[in-house]
Structure 1
Amino acid sequence: MLKIVVGHSDDPDSQGAITEVLEQCIQELAGMLPKAGLLFAAIDFDHASILQQINQTFPNLQLVGCTTDGEMSSIMGFQQDSLILTLFCSDTVEIFAGVGHHTEKDAITAAYQAVQQATDKNHAPTKLCITVPASYTSRGSTTSGEQILKGLESALGGNVPIVGGTAGDQFRFKQTYQFFGTEVFTDALPILLFSGDLYISHGVGCGWQPMGYKSTVTKAQDTVLYEVNGQSALEFYQKYLGDRQPTAEHPLYVYEGDSDRCYLRVPNTYDLEAGSINFLGNIPQGATVQLAEISRDQVIEASASSFKMALADYPGSEPEAVLIFSCCCRRWLLGTRAKEEYDLVKNSLPKMMPIAGFYTYGEFAPLQAQGCNYYHQETFVTLLLGTA
């Protein structure tokens, strides 16, 4: 058995919001005690007081969470400046939390810390890892999603799906917050590990349309792209965009080997003298890449494609809940149409079920069932949860 309940409030007052959220959850729990929780919170709440209130209501709850760039749920749909609490109850699924510290300095060690803390409480094989780590630190630099992913994969071992998203701060790009129990951090890696009688599936969708021909990265280092097909990165972009500068509207598709499976990388800054472009994620040297352009209708439709991909792969009869992790760039570029992403998922449900999610600064998910984990950008990730 797995029961998942959601509480959601747009009350701007922290005490008012958490009171409303807890009342909703308690009513839906109908006397059951939750094992674990996920908290998605807008940046301006008093997070410490909210965590204390949750702990007073549900002592020893395995709770993690983060700040967001927008929230969505089956209670209120798409919102900004709101608070969502998702609670998990089960007598057959074990869920334990862990947290690692100083991800900017050493994401690998932070991942090992988080996994060790969670697995010390439970030695059953892990079936799923949900993570909501730091993205921007107090100095405003990016925390490497790839390094976080590498650390978690190494610490977990095997082929454990890693799904989630990095914390946001409403496009201020100054400082995000992560939650663990009653603690608030600015450079941490919180995780929830699931084991036992758990069914899961996931889907990813982008919606950007490829432009031109597939090309080969001939020079790159970490997040900096220097050359494509022997010409500078800027010349490669200018061939298609003319004088327009690289922006989030024109990310780069990076293909998985010789397959058609791919993930997106978003250009951030560029160097006119060097002709290079710095992306918000690593660009592997030798990778096959292709420029992409935005089609807002297709970007919105990709949310439904992501859900349908997850539903087609779901191993049980019907899932019990949906978790969503969507990129902040999608929300920003879609503008007033952003709410259509959630609406398409809701309308695709085979039955009414709890939904919770947030807009992230980067997403984690495999590209396919039993596939390798990837760090994504400008992507809509759907996670379905249930039991036999």
Structure 2
Amino acid sequence: MKIQQFKKLGNQNWVSLHKYENSLNNPLILVLGNRYQLEKTSLLSEIRELLPNGEIVCGTTAGEIIGERVYNDSVAITAVEFEKSKFIIESENILTHNMDALTLGAKLIDKLPQKDLKHVFVISEGSFVNGSALIAGLESKYKNVTFTGGLCGDDARFEKTLVGYNENPKEGEIVIIGFYGDSLDISYGQYGGWTPFGPERIITKSNNNILYELDNQPALDLYKKYLGDKASELPKSALLYPLSVKSPNRKEAIVRTILSIEEENNAMILAGDVPEGSVVQLMMANIDNIVEGASQAAITGMSNRSAKPELAILVSCIGRKLVMDQRVEEEIEEIIESIGQQAVISGFYSYGELAPFKTGNSCELHNQTMTLTLFSE
């Protein structure tokens, strides 16, 4: 595995951070950056000057992770040449098809050949897609394949997210990267660290990822009551108080964040499904617990590995970033301490994180969670 990394802060010049001295052969080029930076039409040509060949996957973020640092208003490039294995990239746009996320996910995964497929990394639009339905569609065909990834971000603006494959990124795009080969050692981990508080309530009315009623009362009214003065800052303020959702079909609680609100329906649109009958409880942050959560995610990722990771792709939540503020890099430092200095670090802060629980291979949509995918050949 050969890796090159570059970063660009604002309007400054590109800086090489982790550079393999020779040119890479058909690398996977992962480009993660602030939405305003990725909207610049000159970006692709700038990348081609740095990396003349390879497959470019772009995604907007709520913060860029490269090395031990977290940046804003930047673009971070990680280019990876797999020497003993291969990858295949496919994409679809949910806005150009008359289908929901479940159907699109199934259509997308059907494009990847099954033979020797080991893992799929997902980079999805994040402002309106139902992440739970997308995962269900992706998992509908290949039951023994694992999935990780994230929903792209747009800082705390929640205006739009952009994804692109070998073209300027655009709204509605979903990209999957299939990894092939017995030589690949891929592992993953996830953990939150948020603390539940207040009374438990039952979801009495919902539709997929839209929450209408808790205990037969309008959900948005109840939520605003808890937020108090912060209610006027919705949906941004919701990142500080996510929901713990315990549903009958899951062994572990899922954390859900509100993406947007519908005042006219007194409803909240969440990043993933919130089934009726689930038990909901508000959650709040303790920074030390959140940092410890990142450490636990790394420990999980390292638990079944046969070799030290060469590459780590981290996907963490914008809510964690807002809460930790100036301490945000502590969770990156905890991960590096667990996985080792030899691993090249890349990643982003997202609107939703994709990874299986520790106890199984089935992927879940998480919010307010640190996830990591570790690679070696």
Shorter-chain TM range is 0.7 to 0.9
Q: Distance in 1 between matches of 2:103 and 2:227?
A: 41
Q: Is the 8 A contact 1:63 1:97 kept in 2?
A: no
2:220 corresponds to 1:220: no
1:84-139 Cα deviation digits (max 9, x unpaired): 2222222322101111013585334543554355x2xx552321111111123xxx
Which position in structure 1 is the counterpart of 2:33? 41
Scaled by the length of structure 1, the TM-score of the pair is 0.83
Paired position in structure 1 for 2:234: none
- Helix, strand or coil for the counterpart of 2:336? helix
TM, length-normalised to structure 2:
0.85
- Pairs within 5 Å for 1:108-123: 108-117=102-111, 119=112, 123=114
1:352 to 342, 364, 367: 342
Matches of 1:73 and 1:215 in 2, distance apart?
A: 40
Q: 2:186 aligns with which of 200, 208, 222?
A: 200
Q: Cα offset for 1:381?
A: 0.7
Aligned 1:15-164 pairs, distance under 5 A: 16-17=13-14, 20-21=15-16, 24=17, 27-28=19-20, 30-45=22-37, 47-55=40-48, 58=51, 61-74=54-67, 77-103=69-95, 106=99, 107-117=101-111, 119=112, 123-136=114-127, 142-154=128-140, 156-164=141-149
* AA of the residue aligned to 1:340: E
Q: 1:143 Cα shift?
A: 2.1
SS of 2:280's partner is strand
Report deviation, 1:234.
5.8
Indicate how the Cα distance of structure 1 residues 250 and 272 shifts in structure 2: closer, same or farther if over 3 A, else same.
Answer: same
Q: Which runs of 5+ in 1 are unaligned?
A: 137-141
What amino acid maps onto 1:8 in structure 2?
F
Report deviation, 1:80: 1.1
Q: 3-state DSSP class of the match of 1:306?
A: helix
Indicate conservation of the 8 Å contact 1:61/1:181, yes or no: no
Instruction: Name the CA distance, whole Å, in 2 between partners of 1:242 and 1:63.
Output: 44
- Is 2:92–2:174's contact at 8 Å kept on the other side of the alignment? yes
Q: Structure 2: which amino acid aligns with 1:161?
A: T
Are the aligned partners of 2:106 and 2:139 in contact in 1 as well (CA < 8 Å)?
no
Residue aligning to 1:253: 244
d(CA) in 2 for partners of 1:157 and 1:35?
25
Q: How many pairs does the alignment contain?
A: 368
Moved more, 226-235 or 377-386: 226-235
Mapped partners of 1:92, 1:51: distance in 2: 27
CA distance in 2 between counterparts of 1:232 and 1:175 reads: 27
3-state SS of 1:10 partner: strand
Contact 1:124 1:196 in 2 (8 A): no
Contact map agreement 1:202 1:382 (CA 8 A) in 2: yes
Structure 1 295/110 Cα, relative in aligned 2: closer, same or farther at 3 Å?
same
- Give 1:279's aligned residue: 270
AA in 1 matched with 2:256: R
Percent of residue pairs identical: 25
Is contact 1:64-1:191 (8 Å) kept? no
Query: 1:110–1:271: structure 2 CA closer, same or farther, 3 Å change rule?
Result: closer
Structure 2 CA distance, aligned partners of 1:250 and 1:259? 22
